[in-house]
Structure 1
Protein backbone atom coordinates (compact mmCIF):
# COMPACT_ATOMS: atom_id res chain seq x y z
CA UNK A 1 0.00 0.00 0.00
CA UNK A 2 1.49 3.31 -1.10
CA UNK A 3 0.21 6.56 0.40
CA UNK A 4 0.47 9.58 -1.89
CA UNK A 5 -1.46 11.83 0.49
CA UNK A 6 -2.40 11.52 4.13
CA UNK A 7 -6.02 10.56 4.80
CA UNK A 8 -8.04 10.79 7.99
CA UNK A 9 -11.62 10.94 9.21
CA UNK A 10 -12.79 8.31 6.73
CA UNK A 11 -16.27 7.07 7.60
CA UNK A 12 -17.48 5.52 4.34
CA UNK A 13 -15.79 3.18 1.88
CA UNK A 14 -17.27 3.11 -1.60
CA UNK A 15 -16.36 0.32 -3.98
CA UNK A 16 -16.36 0.08 -7.72
CA UNK A 17 -17.62 -3.40 -8.62
CA UNK A 18 -16.43 -4.70 -12.01
CA UNK A 19 -12.72 -5.60 -12.01
CA UNK A 20 -12.34 -4.29 -8.47
CA UNK A 21 -14.08 -6.96 -6.40
CA UNK A 22 -14.04 -9.64 -9.13
CA UNK A 23 -12.68 -10.24 -12.62
CA UNK A 24 -15.35 -8.93 -14.96
CA UNK A 25 -13.73 -9.68 -18.33
CA UNK A 26 -14.94 -13.29 -18.70
CA UNK A 27 -18.34 -12.31 -17.30
CA UNK A 28 -18.94 -9.66 -19.97
CA UNK A 29 -17.65 -11.96 -22.71
CA UNK A 30 -20.12 -14.66 -21.64
CA UNK A 31 -22.99 -12.16 -21.39
CA UNK A 32 -22.37 -10.78 -24.88
CA UNK A 33 -22.15 -14.33 -26.21
CA UNK A 34 -25.48 -15.20 -24.58
CA UNK A 35 -27.08 -12.15 -26.20
CA UNK A 36 -25.61 -13.02 -29.61
CA UNK A 37 -26.64 -16.66 -29.27
CA UNK A 38 -30.26 -15.61 -28.72
CA UNK A 39 -30.33 -13.18 -31.63
CA UNK A 40 -28.58 -15.59 -33.99
CA UNK A 41 -31.21 -18.30 -33.42
CA UNK A 42 -34.05 -16.08 -34.64
CA UNK A 43 -33.37 -16.80 -38.29
CA UNK A 44 -30.09 -17.95 -39.83
CA UNK A 45 -30.27 -15.48 -42.69
CA UNK A 46 -30.62 -12.64 -40.21
CA UNK A 47 -27.73 -13.75 -38.01
CA UNK A 48 -25.21 -11.02 -37.36
CA UNK A 49 -21.80 -11.30 -35.75
CA UNK A 50 -20.23 -9.29 -32.91
CA UNK A 51 -18.89 -6.71 -35.36
CA UNK A 52 -22.43 -5.83 -36.40
CA UNK A 53 -23.55 -5.23 -32.82
CA UNK A 54 -20.45 -3.19 -32.04
CA UNK A 55 -21.26 -0.97 -35.01
CA UNK A 56 -24.84 -0.64 -33.73
CA UNK A 57 -23.59 0.49 -30.30
CA UNK A 58 -21.27 3.03 -31.88
CA UNK A 59 -24.01 4.35 -34.17
CA UNK A 60 -26.47 4.69 -31.30
CA UNK A 61 -23.85 6.48 -29.19
CA UNK A 62 -23.26 8.97 -32.01
CA UNK A 63 -26.99 9.65 -32.31
CA UNK A 64 -27.65 9.69 -28.56
CA UNK A 65 -24.39 10.46 -26.69
CA UNK A 66 -26.25 10.75 -23.39
CA UNK A 67 -26.78 6.98 -23.47
CA UNK A 68 -23.10 6.39 -22.68
CA UNK A 69 -23.95 7.35 -19.08
CA UNK A 70 -26.39 4.42 -18.85
CA UNK A 71 -24.97 1.17 -20.20
CA UNK A 72 -28.27 -0.69 -19.72
CA UNK A 73 -30.31 1.69 -21.88
CA UNK A 74 -27.43 1.97 -24.35
CA UNK A 75 -27.37 -1.78 -24.93
CA UNK A 76 -31.18 -2.00 -25.11
CA UNK A 77 -31.41 0.83 -27.65
CA UNK A 78 -28.58 -0.70 -29.69
CA UNK A 79 -30.40 -4.04 -29.73
CA UNK A 80 -33.58 -2.42 -31.02
CA UNK A 81 -31.61 -0.48 -33.62
CA UNK A 82 -29.83 -3.62 -34.82
CA UNK A 83 -32.98 -5.72 -35.00
CA UNK A 84 -34.70 -3.00 -37.00
CA UNK A 85 -31.72 -2.90 -39.36
CA UNK A 86 -32.00 -6.67 -39.75
CA UNK A 87 -35.60 -6.33 -40.95
CA UNK A 88 -37.69 -7.26 -37.93
CA UNK A 89 -41.09 -5.62 -37.50
CA UNK A 90 -41.63 -3.14 -34.65
CA UNK A 91 -43.48 -5.78 -32.59
CA UNK A 92 -40.81 -8.42 -33.26
CA UNK A 93 -38.10 -5.90 -32.43
CA UNK A 94 -39.56 -5.16 -29.00
CA UNK A 95 -40.09 -8.83 -28.17
CA UNK A 96 -36.65 -9.97 -29.26
CA UNK A 97 -34.77 -6.96 -27.88
CA UNK A 98 -36.22 -7.66 -24.44
CA UNK A 99 -35.47 -11.38 -24.64
CA UNK A 100 -31.94 -10.78 -25.92
CA UNK A 101 -31.24 -8.31 -23.13
CA UNK A 102 -32.56 -10.73 -20.52
CA UNK A 103 -30.20 -13.39 -21.88
CA UNK A 104 -27.39 -10.87 -21.47
CA UNK A 105 -28.49 -9.84 -17.96
CA UNK A 106 -28.80 -13.43 -16.73
CA UNK A 107 -25.30 -14.32 -17.90
CA UNK A 108 -24.05 -10.96 -16.59
CA UNK A 109 -25.01 -12.01 -13.08
CA UNK A 110 -23.16 -15.33 -13.14
CA UNK A 111 -20.53 -14.04 -10.72
CA UNK A 112 -19.04 -15.75 -7.71
CA UNK A 113 -17.04 -13.31 -5.61
CA UNK A 114 -14.18 -15.01 -3.82
CA UNK A 115 -14.86 -15.80 -0.17
CA UNK A 116 -11.68 -13.98 0.85
CA UNK A 117 -13.11 -10.77 -0.65
CA UNK A 118 -16.39 -11.28 1.21
CA UNK A 119 -14.41 -11.81 4.42
CA UNK A 120 -12.49 -8.60 3.73
CA UNK A 121 -15.74 -6.66 3.31
CA UNK A 122 -17.06 -8.12 6.55
CA UNK A 123 -13.93 -6.98 8.39
CA UNK A 124 -14.06 -3.49 6.89
CA UNK A 125 -17.73 -3.22 7.83
CA UNK A 126 -16.78 -3.38 11.51
CA UNK A 127 -15.20 0.06 11.16
CA UNK A 128 -16.63 1.72 8.05
CA UNK A 129 -19.95 2.03 6.24
CA UNK A 130 -19.80 0.29 2.86
CA UNK A 131 -21.48 1.36 -0.37
CA UNK A 132 -20.92 0.65 -4.07
CA UNK A 133 -20.60 3.12 -6.94
CA UNK A 134 -20.57 1.57 -10.42
CA UNK A 135 -20.73 2.60 -14.05
CA UNK A 136 -21.83 -0.93 -14.90
CA UNK A 137 -25.19 -2.66 -14.92
CA UNK A 138 -24.52 -5.74 -12.83
CA UNK A 139 -27.45 -6.62 -10.55
CA UNK A 140 -25.79 -7.11 -7.17
CA UNK A 141 -28.85 -8.78 -5.66
CA UNK A 142 -28.51 -11.66 -8.14
CA UNK A 143 -25.18 -13.00 -6.86
CA UNK A 144 -23.17 -13.22 -3.66
CA UNK A 145 -22.57 -9.50 -3.18
CA UNK A 146 -26.24 -9.21 -2.20
CA UNK A 147 -26.54 -7.51 1.17
CA UNK A 148 -22.92 -6.40 1.30
CA UNK A 149 -23.60 -2.68 0.82
CA UNK A 150 -26.05 -0.29 2.43
CA UNK A 151 -26.46 1.41 -0.95
CA UNK A 152 -25.55 0.66 -4.57
CA UNK A 153 -25.39 3.69 -6.85
CA UNK A 154 -25.49 2.96 -10.59
CA UNK A 155 -24.71 5.24 -13.50
CA UNK A 156 -27.82 6.09 -15.48
CA UNK A 157 -30.28 5.19 -12.77
CA UNK A 158 -28.69 7.44 -10.14
CA UNK A 159 -26.72 9.99 -12.15
CA UNK A 160 -24.12 10.41 -14.85
CA UNK A 161 -21.28 7.92 -15.10
CA UNK A 162 -17.94 8.39 -13.38
CA UNK A 163 -15.81 10.53 -13.69
CA UNK A 164 -18.79 12.89 -13.45
CA UNK A 165 -19.29 13.65 -9.78
CA UNK A 166 -23.03 12.84 -9.64
CA UNK A 167 -22.71 9.44 -7.99
CA UNK A 168 -20.13 10.62 -5.47
CA UNK A 169 -22.28 13.62 -4.58
CA UNK A 170 -25.29 11.34 -4.14
CA UNK A 171 -23.26 8.97 -1.96
CA UNK A 172 -22.12 11.75 0.35
CA UNK A 173 -25.67 13.07 0.61
CA UNK A 174 -27.06 9.59 1.35
CA UNK A 175 -24.44 8.92 4.02
CA UNK A 176 -24.57 12.49 5.37
CA UNK A 177 -20.79 12.85 5.24
CA UNK A 178 -18.39 15.44 3.86
CA UNK A 179 -16.62 14.38 0.62
CA UNK A 180 -13.27 13.99 2.39
CA UNK A 181 -14.90 11.41 4.69
CA UNK A 182 -15.61 9.05 1.78
CA UNK A 183 -12.84 6.84 0.38
CA UNK A 184 -13.54 5.34 -3.05
CA UNK A 185 -11.77 2.19 -4.23
CA UNK A 186 -11.59 1.31 -7.92
CA UNK A 187 -9.42 -0.10 -10.69
CA UNK A 188 -9.69 2.79 -13.17
CA UNK A 189 -7.70 6.00 -12.96
CA UNK A 190 -9.92 7.55 -15.63
CA UNK A 191 -13.27 6.90 -13.96
CA UNK A 192 -12.78 5.91 -10.31
CA UNK A 193 -9.82 8.01 -9.22
CA UNK A 194 -10.57 11.00 -11.41
CA UNK A 195 -14.23 11.00 -10.39
CA UNK A 196 -13.46 10.76 -6.67
CA UNK A 197 -10.81 13.46 -6.91
CA UNK A 198 -13.14 15.81 -8.78
CA UNK A 199 -15.83 15.28 -6.13
CA UNK A 200 -13.42 16.08 -3.32
CA UNK A 201 -13.51 12.50 -2.05
CA UNK A 202 -10.52 10.36 -1.15
CA UNK A 203 -9.42 7.67 -3.61
CA UNK A 204 -7.70 4.29 -3.75
CA UNK A 205 -6.38 3.04 -7.08
CA UNK A 206 -6.34 -0.74 -7.42
CA UNK A 207 -3.54 -0.97 -9.96
CA UNK A 208 -4.11 -4.47 -11.32
CA UNK A 209 -5.33 -4.07 -14.91
CA UNK A 210 -2.16 -3.28 -16.84
CA UNK A 211 -3.99 -0.51 -18.70
CA UNK A 212 -2.57 2.84 -19.81
CA UNK A 213 -4.97 5.52 -18.57
CA UNK A 214 -5.36 9.09 -19.75
CA UNK A 215 -5.82 10.63 -16.30
CA UNK A 216 -2.54 11.87 -14.85
CA UNK A 217 -3.75 12.68 -11.34
CA UNK A 218 -2.75 10.71 -8.28
CA UNK A 219 -4.92 8.59 -6.05
CA UNK A 220 -4.50 9.16 -2.33
CA UNK A 221 -3.54 5.50 -1.98
CA UNK A 222 -2.29 2.95 -4.51
CA UNK A 223 -2.58 -0.81 -4.03
CA UNK A 224 -2.01 -3.85 -6.25
CA UNK A 225 -4.17 -6.30 -4.30
CA UNK A 226 -7.65 -5.62 -2.90
CA UNK A 227 -6.68 -7.42 0.31
CA UNK A 228 -4.24 -4.63 1.13
CA UNK A 229 -7.32 -2.70 2.32
CA UNK A 230 -7.14 -4.73 5.52
CA UNK A 231 -4.36 -2.32 6.55
CA UNK A 232 -7.04 0.36 6.93
CA UNK A 233 -8.12 -1.51 10.06
CA UNK A 234 -4.74 -1.19 11.76
Structure 2
Protein backbone atom coordinates (compact mmCIF):
# COMPACT_ATOMS: atom_id res chain seq x y z
CA UNK A 1 0.00 0.00 0.00
CA UNK A 2 1.33 3.41 -1.00
CA UNK A 3 0.01 6.72 0.29
CA UNK A 4 0.38 9.86 -1.81
CA UNK A 5 -1.74 12.07 0.47
CA UNK A 6 -3.10 11.84 3.97
CA UNK A 7 -6.58 10.33 3.82
CA UNK A 8 -9.56 12.06 5.35
CA UNK A 9 -11.84 9.78 7.41
CA UNK A 10 -13.59 7.32 5.07
CA UNK A 11 -17.32 7.28 5.69
CA UNK A 12 -18.39 5.55 2.46
CA UNK A 13 -16.80 3.90 -0.55
CA UNK A 14 -17.63 3.72 -4.23
CA UNK A 15 -16.32 1.02 -6.54
CA UNK A 16 -15.60 0.58 -10.19
CA UNK A 17 -16.52 -2.98 -11.25
CA UNK A 18 -14.67 -4.22 -14.35
CA UNK A 19 -10.98 -5.01 -13.71
CA UNK A 20 -11.34 -3.73 -10.15
CA UNK A 21 -13.45 -6.41 -8.47
CA UNK A 22 -12.63 -9.13 -11.04
CA UNK A 23 -10.50 -9.57 -14.14
CA UNK A 24 -12.76 -8.48 -16.99
CA UNK A 25 -10.24 -8.95 -19.80
CA UNK A 26 -10.91 -12.65 -20.47
CA UNK A 27 -14.65 -12.01 -20.20
CA UNK A 28 -14.57 -9.38 -22.95
CA UNK A 29 -12.23 -11.46 -25.11
CA UNK A 30 -14.61 -14.43 -24.95
CA UNK A 31 -17.65 -12.23 -25.48
CA UNK A 32 -16.10 -10.63 -28.57
CA UNK A 33 -15.09 -13.98 -30.03
CA UNK A 34 -18.42 -15.70 -29.42
CA UNK A 35 -20.57 -12.71 -30.42
CA UNK A 36 -18.67 -12.35 -33.68
CA UNK A 37 -18.99 -16.07 -34.36
CA UNK A 38 -22.74 -15.88 -33.77
CA UNK A 39 -23.11 -12.86 -36.04
CA UNK A 40 -21.08 -14.43 -38.87
CA UNK A 41 -23.02 -17.70 -38.57
CA UNK A 42 -26.50 -16.17 -38.60
CA UNK A 43 -25.70 -13.20 -40.83
CA UNK A 44 -22.83 -14.27 -43.12
CA UNK A 45 -22.80 -10.92 -44.89
CA UNK A 46 -21.19 -9.47 -41.75
CA UNK A 47 -18.07 -11.57 -42.43
CA UNK A 48 -17.50 -9.88 -45.77
CA UNK A 49 -15.81 -7.05 -43.87
CA UNK A 50 -12.90 -7.59 -41.50
CA UNK A 51 -12.53 -6.55 -37.88
CA UNK A 52 -10.71 -3.33 -38.83
CA UNK A 53 -13.70 -2.23 -40.95
CA UNK A 54 -16.13 -2.83 -38.09
CA UNK A 55 -13.84 -1.04 -35.62
CA UNK A 56 -13.50 1.97 -37.91
CA UNK A 57 -17.28 2.14 -38.26
CA UNK A 58 -17.67 1.92 -34.50
CA UNK A 59 -15.34 4.87 -33.92
CA UNK A 60 -16.92 6.89 -36.72
CA UNK A 61 -20.35 6.49 -35.16
CA UNK A 62 -19.07 7.63 -31.78
CA UNK A 63 -17.52 10.71 -33.35
CA UNK A 64 -20.90 11.52 -34.83
CA UNK A 65 -22.71 10.89 -31.54
CA UNK A 66 -20.52 11.33 -28.45
CA UNK A 67 -23.22 9.85 -26.23
CA UNK A 68 -22.30 6.39 -27.52
CA UNK A 69 -19.09 6.56 -25.47
CA UNK A 70 -21.31 6.55 -22.38
CA UNK A 71 -23.61 3.68 -23.39
CA UNK A 72 -21.61 0.64 -24.53
CA UNK A 73 -24.71 -1.48 -25.18
CA UNK A 74 -26.27 1.16 -27.42
CA UNK A 75 -22.91 1.66 -29.12
CA UNK A 76 -22.65 -2.02 -30.02
CA UNK A 77 -26.27 -2.17 -31.20
CA UNK A 78 -25.84 0.96 -33.33
CA UNK A 79 -22.62 -0.36 -34.86
CA UNK A 80 -24.22 -3.66 -35.90
CA UNK A 81 -27.33 -1.94 -37.19
CA UNK A 82 -25.46 0.64 -39.25
CA UNK A 83 -22.92 -1.90 -40.49
CA UNK A 84 -25.57 -4.25 -41.79
CA UNK A 85 -27.36 -1.36 -43.47
CA UNK A 86 -24.14 -0.51 -45.29
CA UNK A 87 -23.79 -4.15 -46.33
CA UNK A 88 -27.24 -4.23 -47.91
CA UNK A 89 -29.75 -5.17 -45.19
CA UNK A 90 -33.06 -3.38 -44.96
CA UNK A 91 -33.68 -1.29 -41.85
CA UNK A 92 -36.00 -3.98 -40.45
CA UNK A 93 -33.50 -6.77 -41.12
CA UNK A 94 -30.62 -4.82 -39.61
CA UNK A 95 -32.58 -3.85 -36.51
CA UNK A 96 -33.75 -7.42 -35.89
CA UNK A 97 -30.23 -8.77 -36.33
CA UNK A 98 -28.84 -6.17 -33.91
CA UNK A 99 -31.59 -6.95 -31.38
CA UNK A 100 -30.89 -10.69 -31.62
CA UNK A 101 -27.16 -10.19 -31.24
CA UNK A 102 -27.60 -8.02 -28.15
CA UNK A 103 -29.64 -10.79 -26.53
CA UNK A 104 -26.63 -13.07 -27.04
CA UNK A 105 -24.26 -10.37 -25.73
CA UNK A 106 -26.33 -9.89 -22.57
CA UNK A 107 -25.98 -13.59 -21.79
CA UNK A 108 -22.24 -13.69 -22.46
CA UNK A 109 -21.45 -10.42 -20.67
CA UNK A 110 -22.30 -11.66 -17.19
CA UNK A 111 -21.44 -15.34 -17.61
CA UNK A 112 -18.51 -15.59 -15.19
CA UNK A 113 -17.76 -16.07 -11.50
CA UNK A 114 -16.42 -13.35 -9.24
CA UNK A 115 -13.48 -14.48 -7.05
CA UNK A 116 -14.38 -15.63 -3.55
CA UNK A 117 -11.86 -13.16 -2.13
CA UNK A 118 -13.82 -10.26 -3.65
CA UNK A 119 -17.01 -11.46 -1.98
CA UNK A 120 -15.20 -11.71 1.35
CA UNK A 121 -13.76 -8.20 1.14
CA UNK A 122 -17.01 -6.58 0.03
CA UNK A 123 -19.00 -8.39 2.71
CA UNK A 124 -16.68 -7.12 5.43
CA UNK A 125 -16.60 -3.58 4.07
CA UNK A 126 -20.38 -3.43 3.54
CA UNK A 127 -20.84 -4.36 7.19
CA UNK A 128 -18.97 -1.20 8.20
CA UNK A 129 -19.63 1.43 5.53
CA UNK A 130 -22.19 2.12 2.78
CA UNK A 131 -20.89 0.99 -0.62
CA UNK A 132 -21.88 2.29 -4.07
CA UNK A 133 -21.00 0.81 -7.47
CA UNK A 134 -20.14 3.20 -10.33
CA UNK A 135 -19.50 1.45 -13.63
CA UNK A 136 -18.99 2.44 -17.25
CA UNK A 137 -19.80 -1.13 -18.27
CA UNK A 138 -23.00 -3.08 -18.67
CA UNK A 139 -22.45 -6.14 -16.51
CA UNK A 140 -25.50 -7.50 -14.66
CA UNK A 141 -24.42 -6.90 -11.05
CA UNK A 142 -27.21 -9.07 -9.65
CA UNK A 143 -26.37 -11.99 -11.94
CA UNK A 144 -22.69 -12.00 -10.94
CA UNK A 145 -23.71 -11.98 -7.28
CA UNK A 146 -22.49 -8.56 -6.15
CA UNK A 147 -25.70 -6.55 -5.89
CA UNK A 148 -26.33 -7.25 -2.19
CA UNK A 149 -23.14 -5.45 -1.16
CA UNK A 150 -24.12 -2.12 -2.72
CA UNK A 151 -26.66 0.41 -1.53
CA UNK A 152 -26.74 1.97 -4.99
CA UNK A 153 -25.59 0.80 -8.44
CA UNK A 154 -24.93 3.44 -11.10
CA UNK A 155 -24.34 2.53 -14.76
CA UNK A 156 -23.11 4.81 -17.53
CA UNK A 157 -25.89 5.31 -20.03
CA UNK A 158 -28.98 4.75 -17.89
CA UNK A 159 -27.56 6.93 -15.09
CA UNK A 160 -25.70 9.55 -17.10
CA UNK A 161 -22.38 10.16 -18.79
CA UNK A 162 -19.52 7.73 -18.28
CA UNK A 163 -16.73 8.38 -15.81
CA UNK A 164 -14.73 10.62 -15.52
CA UNK A 165 -17.76 12.86 -16.14
CA UNK A 166 -19.38 14.24 -12.99
CA UNK A 167 -22.82 12.65 -13.48
CA UNK A 168 -22.46 9.42 -11.53
CA UNK A 169 -20.07 10.80 -8.90
CA UNK A 170 -22.61 13.53 -8.15
CA UNK A 171 -25.47 11.03 -7.92
CA UNK A 172 -23.42 8.85 -5.57
CA UNK A 173 -22.65 11.80 -3.28
CA UNK A 174 -26.26 12.95 -3.25
CA UNK A 175 -27.42 9.45 -2.39
CA UNK A 176 -24.88 9.05 0.41
CA UNK A 177 -25.51 12.60 1.74
CA UNK A 178 -21.87 12.87 2.79
CA UNK A 179 -19.18 15.43 2.02
CA UNK A 180 -17.35 14.29 -1.10
CA UNK A 181 -13.97 14.24 0.65
CA UNK A 182 -15.20 11.47 2.95
CA UNK A 183 -16.02 9.12 0.04
CA UNK A 184 -13.21 6.90 -1.24
CA UNK A 185 -13.56 5.75 -4.84
CA UNK A 186 -11.74 2.53 -5.74
CA UNK A 187 -10.86 1.70 -9.33
CA UNK A 188 -8.22 0.41 -11.71
CA UNK A 189 -8.25 3.16 -14.36
CA UNK A 190 -6.13 6.26 -13.88
CA UNK A 191 -8.42 8.44 -15.99
CA UNK A 192 -11.97 7.26 -15.45
CA UNK A 193 -11.50 6.29 -11.81
CA UNK A 194 -8.58 8.21 -10.29
CA UNK A 195 -8.87 11.47 -12.23
CA UNK A 196 -12.65 11.16 -12.26
CA UNK A 197 -12.79 10.79 -8.49
CA UNK A 198 -10.27 13.51 -7.70
CA UNK A 199 -11.74 16.03 -10.15
CA UNK A 200 -15.15 15.46 -8.58
CA UNK A 201 -14.02 15.87 -4.98
CA UNK A 202 -13.77 12.21 -3.95
CA UNK A 203 -10.70 10.56 -2.51
CA UNK A 204 -9.18 8.04 -4.91
CA UNK A 205 -7.73 4.57 -4.40
CA UNK A 206 -5.94 3.11 -7.41
CA UNK A 207 -5.92 -0.69 -7.51
CA UNK A 208 -2.74 -1.53 -9.39
CA UNK A 209 -2.65 -5.30 -9.79
CA UNK A 210 -0.56 -5.15 -12.96
CA UNK A 211 2.67 -3.86 -11.40
CA UNK A 212 2.48 -0.48 -13.18
CA UNK A 213 4.09 2.81 -12.16
CA UNK A 214 1.72 5.73 -11.73
CA UNK A 215 4.53 8.14 -12.62
CA UNK A 216 5.13 6.51 -16.01
CA UNK A 217 1.59 5.68 -17.15
CA UNK A 218 0.29 7.77 -20.05
CA UNK A 219 -3.20 7.91 -18.54
CA UNK A 220 -1.96 9.40 -15.26
CA UNK A 221 -2.90 13.07 -14.93
CA UNK A 222 -3.21 13.22 -11.15
CA UNK A 223 -1.93 11.04 -8.33
CA UNK A 224 -4.38 8.89 -6.37
CA UNK A 225 -4.54 9.34 -2.63
CA UNK A 226 -3.62 5.71 -2.04
CA UNK A 227 -2.46 2.81 -4.23
CA UNK A 228 -3.05 -0.88 -3.52
CA UNK A 229 -2.13 -4.10 -5.28
CA UNK A 230 -4.85 -6.33 -3.85
CA UNK A 231 -8.47 -5.63 -2.96
CA UNK A 232 -8.08 -7.04 0.56
CA UNK A 233 -5.66 -4.22 1.41
CA UNK A 234 -8.74 -2.01 1.73
CA UNK A 235 -9.51 -3.79 4.98
CA UNK A 236 -6.43 -2.14 6.51
CA UNK A 237 -8.10 1.22 6.06
Tell me whether the two structures share a fold, i.e. TM-score over 0.5.
Answer: yes
**Inter-CA distance 213–148: structure 2 relative to 1 (3 Å threshold):** farther
Is residue 222 from structure 1 mapped to residue 223 from structure 2 by the alignment? no
Q: How many residues are paired up?
A: 232
**Inter-CA distance 169–43: structure 2 relative to 1 (3 Å threshold):** closer
Q: TM-score, normalised by structure 1?
A: 0.93
Deviation digits for residues 59-101 of structure 1 (CA, Å, limit 9, x no counterpart): 2112112211221211111111111112111111111101111
Aligned residue number for residue 89 of structure 2:
88
Aligned residue number for residue 236 of structure 2:
231
- Name which of structure 1's ranges 203-212 and 183-192 shifts more when overlaid on structure 2: 203-212
- Name which of structure 1's ranges 26-35 and 184-193 shifts more when overlaid on structure 2: 26-35
Alignment of 1:199-214 (within 5 A): 199-209=200-210, 212-214=217-219
Alignment of 1:75-114 (within 5 A): 75-114=76-115
Aligned residue number for residue 180 of structure 1:
181
Aligned residue number for residue 121 of structure 2:
120
For structure 1, the residue ranges without an aligned partner over 5 or more in a row are none
Is residue 12 from structure 1 mapped to residue 27 from structure 2 by the alignment? no
Query: How far does residue 29 in structure 1 lie from its aligned partner after superposition?
Result: 1.1
Output the aligned Cα RMSD. Answer: 1.5
Task: Give the Cα–Cα distance (whole angstroms) in 2 for the partners of residues 63 and 209 of structure 1.
Answer: 34
- Name which of structure 1's ranges 91-100 and 62-71 shifts more when overlaid on structure 2: 62-71
Q: TM-score, normalised by structure 2?
A: 0.92
Query: How far does residue 107 in structure 1 lie from its aligned partner after superposition?
Result: 0.7
For structure 2, the residue ranges without an aligned partner over 5 or more in a row are none
